[in-house]
Protein backbone atom coordinates (compact mmCIF):
# COMPACT_ATOMS: atom_id res chain seq x y z
CA UNK A 1 0.00 0.00 0.00
CA UNK A 2 1.83 3.01 -1.18
CA UNK A 3 0.02 5.98 0.24
CA UNK A 4 -0.15 4.44 3.68
CA UNK A 5 2.90 4.80 5.84
CA UNK A 6 4.40 1.49 6.99
CA UNK A 7 3.68 0.58 10.55
CA UNK A 8 7.08 -0.08 12.05
CA UNK A 9 9.28 2.66 13.33
CA UNK A 10 8.26 5.48 15.51
CA UNK A 11 5.85 8.29 14.95
CA UNK A 12 7.07 11.36 13.21
CA UNK A 13 7.26 13.83 16.00
CA UNK A 14 10.19 15.97 16.77
CA UNK A 15 9.55 17.28 20.29
CA UNK A 16 11.69 15.30 22.66
CA UNK A 17 10.26 12.36 24.44
CA UNK A 18 9.91 12.28 28.18
CA UNK A 19 12.71 10.76 30.15
CA UNK A 20 10.57 7.89 31.34
CA UNK A 21 9.77 6.65 27.90
CA UNK A 22 13.39 6.82 26.94
CA UNK A 23 14.45 4.88 29.98
CA UNK A 24 11.99 2.17 29.03
CA UNK A 25 13.55 2.02 25.59
CA UNK A 26 17.02 1.69 27.03
CA UNK A 27 15.91 -1.19 29.23
CA UNK A 28 14.23 -2.91 26.32
CA UNK A 29 17.11 -2.24 24.05
CA UNK A 30 20.07 -3.67 25.81
CA UNK A 31 19.15 -5.51 28.94
CA UNK A 32 17.00 -8.13 27.37
CA UNK A 33 19.64 -10.82 27.57
CA UNK A 34 19.95 -10.76 31.29
CA UNK A 35 21.24 -8.92 34.29
CA UNK A 36 24.11 -6.49 33.91
CA UNK A 37 27.04 -7.69 36.00
CA UNK A 38 30.02 -5.44 35.51
CA UNK A 39 33.18 -7.22 36.56
CA UNK A 40 36.08 -5.36 38.06
CA UNK A 41 39.57 -5.79 36.67
CA UNK A 42 40.40 -8.25 39.45
CA UNK A 43 37.39 -10.39 38.69
CA UNK A 44 38.15 -10.32 35.02
CA UNK A 45 41.70 -11.38 35.78
CA UNK A 46 40.56 -14.41 37.75
CA UNK A 47 38.03 -15.35 35.15
CA UNK A 48 40.46 -15.12 32.26
CA UNK A 49 43.15 -17.02 34.15
CA UNK A 50 40.63 -19.84 34.40
CA UNK A 51 40.09 -19.73 30.68
CA UNK A 52 43.71 -19.37 29.69
CA UNK A 53 46.28 -20.05 32.39
CA UNK A 54 49.14 -19.01 30.12
CA UNK A 55 47.96 -15.43 29.90
CA UNK A 56 49.97 -12.73 31.63
CA UNK A 57 48.48 -9.51 32.86
CA UNK A 58 49.55 -5.92 32.93
CA UNK A 59 47.80 -3.56 35.24
CA UNK A 60 47.97 0.07 36.08
CA UNK A 61 46.14 1.41 33.10
CA UNK A 62 42.46 2.06 32.96
CA UNK A 63 41.69 -1.35 31.64
CA UNK A 64 43.07 -4.81 32.19
CA UNK A 65 45.75 -5.70 29.65
CA UNK A 66 46.17 -9.33 28.74
CA UNK A 67 49.23 -10.61 26.95
CA UNK A 68 48.76 -13.87 25.16
CA UNK A 69 50.54 -16.14 22.76
CA UNK A 70 49.48 -15.82 19.13
CA UNK A 71 48.33 -19.43 18.95
CA UNK A 72 45.92 -19.02 21.88
CA UNK A 73 44.15 -16.04 20.38
CA UNK A 74 41.42 -17.75 18.40
CA UNK A 75 40.17 -19.99 21.20
CA UNK A 76 40.40 -17.18 23.74
CA UNK A 77 38.51 -14.86 21.43
CA UNK A 78 35.71 -17.34 21.05
CA UNK A 79 35.48 -17.79 24.80
CA UNK A 80 35.56 -14.06 25.46
CA UNK A 81 32.74 -13.55 23.00
CA UNK A 82 30.54 -16.45 24.02
CA UNK A 83 31.02 -16.74 27.77
CA UNK A 84 27.89 -15.36 29.36
CA UNK A 85 29.59 -13.64 32.25
CA UNK A 86 32.23 -12.01 30.02
CA UNK A 87 30.26 -11.49 26.79
CA UNK A 88 32.69 -9.21 25.02
CA UNK A 89 30.53 -8.60 21.98
CA UNK A 90 31.94 -5.26 20.90
CA UNK A 91 35.42 -5.03 19.38
CA UNK A 92 35.82 -1.30 19.38
CA UNK A 93 39.43 -1.01 18.36
CA UNK A 94 41.81 -3.29 16.55
CA UNK A 95 45.26 -2.12 15.74
CA UNK A 96 48.89 -2.98 15.60
CA UNK A 97 52.02 -1.34 16.95
CA UNK A 98 55.44 -1.63 15.37
CA UNK A 99 58.06 -1.89 18.12
CA UNK A 100 60.92 -2.22 15.63
CA UNK A 101 61.84 -5.62 17.10
CA UNK A 102 58.39 -7.09 16.95
CA UNK A 103 54.80 -6.17 16.19
CA UNK A 104 52.03 -6.16 18.75
CA UNK A 105 48.42 -6.71 17.89
CA UNK A 106 46.09 -4.81 20.20
CA UNK A 107 42.43 -5.69 20.56
CA UNK A 108 40.17 -3.46 22.62
CA UNK A 109 37.07 -5.34 23.69
CA UNK A 110 33.97 -4.15 25.39
CA UNK A 111 30.73 -5.71 26.48
CA UNK A 112 27.57 -3.83 25.65
CA UNK A 113 25.70 -5.89 28.18
CA UNK A 114 28.04 -5.91 31.15
CA UNK A 115 29.94 -2.71 30.36
CA UNK A 116 33.41 -3.98 31.14
CA UNK A 117 36.45 -3.59 28.93
CA UNK A 118 39.68 -5.42 28.37
CA UNK A 119 42.67 -5.06 26.12
CA UNK A 120 44.22 -8.14 24.57
CA UNK A 121 47.74 -7.98 23.19
CA UNK A 122 49.72 -10.46 21.27
CA UNK A 123 53.31 -10.27 20.07
CA UNK A 124 53.99 -11.09 16.46
CA UNK A 125 57.18 -11.91 14.66
CA UNK A 126 58.17 -8.86 12.66
CA UNK A 127 59.41 -10.69 9.59
CA UNK A 128 56.56 -13.11 9.26
CA UNK A 129 53.62 -11.72 11.20
CA UNK A 130 50.71 -14.12 11.27
CA UNK A 131 47.65 -14.35 13.47
CA UNK A 132 44.28 -16.00 13.23
CA UNK A 133 41.49 -13.77 12.06
CA UNK A 134 38.53 -12.98 14.28
CA UNK A 135 36.39 -11.65 11.45
CA UNK A 136 33.83 -14.40 11.98
CA UNK A 137 33.51 -13.59 15.69
CA UNK A 138 33.35 -9.82 15.44
CA UNK A 139 32.39 -8.79 11.95
CA UNK A 140 33.92 -5.36 12.35
CA UNK A 141 37.29 -7.09 12.44
CA UNK A 142 37.06 -7.78 8.74
CA UNK A 143 37.67 -4.17 7.75
CA UNK A 144 40.01 -3.41 10.61
CA UNK A 145 42.12 -6.45 9.81
CA UNK A 146 42.30 -5.48 6.19
CA UNK A 147 43.55 -2.08 7.27
CA UNK A 148 46.19 -3.62 9.53
CA UNK A 149 47.12 -6.06 6.78
CA UNK A 150 48.07 -3.32 4.38
CA UNK A 151 49.45 -0.88 6.89
CA UNK A 152 51.61 -3.37 8.83
CA UNK A 153 51.72 -6.42 6.63
CA UNK A 154 50.16 -8.70 9.21
CA UNK A 155 48.81 -11.82 7.57
CA UNK A 156 45.46 -12.81 9.03
CA UNK A 157 44.98 -16.51 8.57
CA UNK A 158 41.59 -17.63 7.27
CA UNK A 159 40.41 -14.08 6.69
CA UNK A 160 37.50 -14.20 4.22
CA UNK A 161 38.67 -11.40 1.96
CA UNK A 162 42.20 -10.25 2.69
CA UNK A 163 42.84 -7.61 0.03
CA UNK A 164 44.06 -4.05 -0.04
CA UNK A 165 41.40 -1.71 1.24
CA UNK A 166 42.94 1.74 1.40
CA UNK A 167 46.14 1.49 -0.61
CA UNK A 168 45.89 1.53 -4.39
CA UNK A 169 45.87 -1.71 -6.36
CA UNK A 170 49.31 -3.06 -7.14
CA UNK A 171 50.86 -1.70 -3.94
CA UNK A 172 53.44 -4.25 -2.92
CA UNK A 173 55.68 -4.98 -0.04
CA UNK A 174 55.93 -1.66 1.70
CA UNK A 175 53.78 -1.19 4.79
CA UNK A 176 53.23 2.51 5.44
CA UNK A 177 52.74 2.50 9.18
CA UNK A 178 55.83 0.48 9.96
CA UNK A 179 58.59 2.55 11.45
CA UNK A 180 61.11 1.84 8.69
CA UNK A 181 58.78 2.91 5.90
CA UNK A 182 60.08 5.61 3.67
CA UNK A 183 58.55 6.90 0.51
CA UNK A 184 61.37 8.67 -1.35
CA UNK A 185 59.02 10.09 -3.99
CA UNK A 186 56.28 11.63 -1.94
CA UNK A 187 58.22 12.45 1.20
CA UNK A 188 57.93 16.10 2.15
CA UNK A 189 61.05 17.38 3.83
CA UNK A 190 60.75 20.65 5.64
The binding site for other proteins (CB under 8 A) comprises 1-6, 8-10, 12-17, 19, 22-23, 25-26, 28-30, 60-63, 89-93, 95, 97-98, 106, 108, 112, 115, 119, 138-140, 142-144, 147, 165-168, 176-177, 181, 190
Question: Least distance (Å) from other proteins to the CB of residue 173?
Answer: 17
Question: Least distance (Å) from other proteins to the CB of residue 93?
Answer: 4
Q: Which is nearer to other proteins, 51 or 177 (CB)?
A: 177
Inter-CA distances, 113 with 31, 38, 94, 109, 171, Å: 7, 9, 20, 12, 41
CA distance 84 to 76: 14
Question: Least distance (Å) from other proteins to the CB of residue 178?
Answer: 10
Q: Measured in whole angstroms, how far is the alpha carbon of residue 183 from the centre of its chain?
A: 30
Question: Least distance (Å) from other proteins to the CB of residue 140?
Answer: 3
CB-based contact 141:92 (threshold 8 Å): no
Question: Least distance (Å) from other proteins to the CB of residue 89?
Answer: 5
CA distance 147 to 93: 12
Q: Which is nearer to other proteins, 13 or 53 (CB)?
A: 13
CA distance 105 to 96: 4
Q: Where are the alpha helices (DSSP H) in 32-186?
A: 41-51, 73-82, 141-152
CA distance 110 to 33: 16
Q: Which is nearer to other proteins, 52 or 165 (CB)?
A: 165
Q: Which is nearer to other proteins, 12 or 127 (CB)?
A: 12
Amino acid sequence: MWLVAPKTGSVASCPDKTAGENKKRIDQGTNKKGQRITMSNEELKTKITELLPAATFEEGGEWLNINIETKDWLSLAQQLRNDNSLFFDYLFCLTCIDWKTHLTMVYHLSSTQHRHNIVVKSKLDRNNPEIETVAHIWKTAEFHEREVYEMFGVNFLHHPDLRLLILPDGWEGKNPLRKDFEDPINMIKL
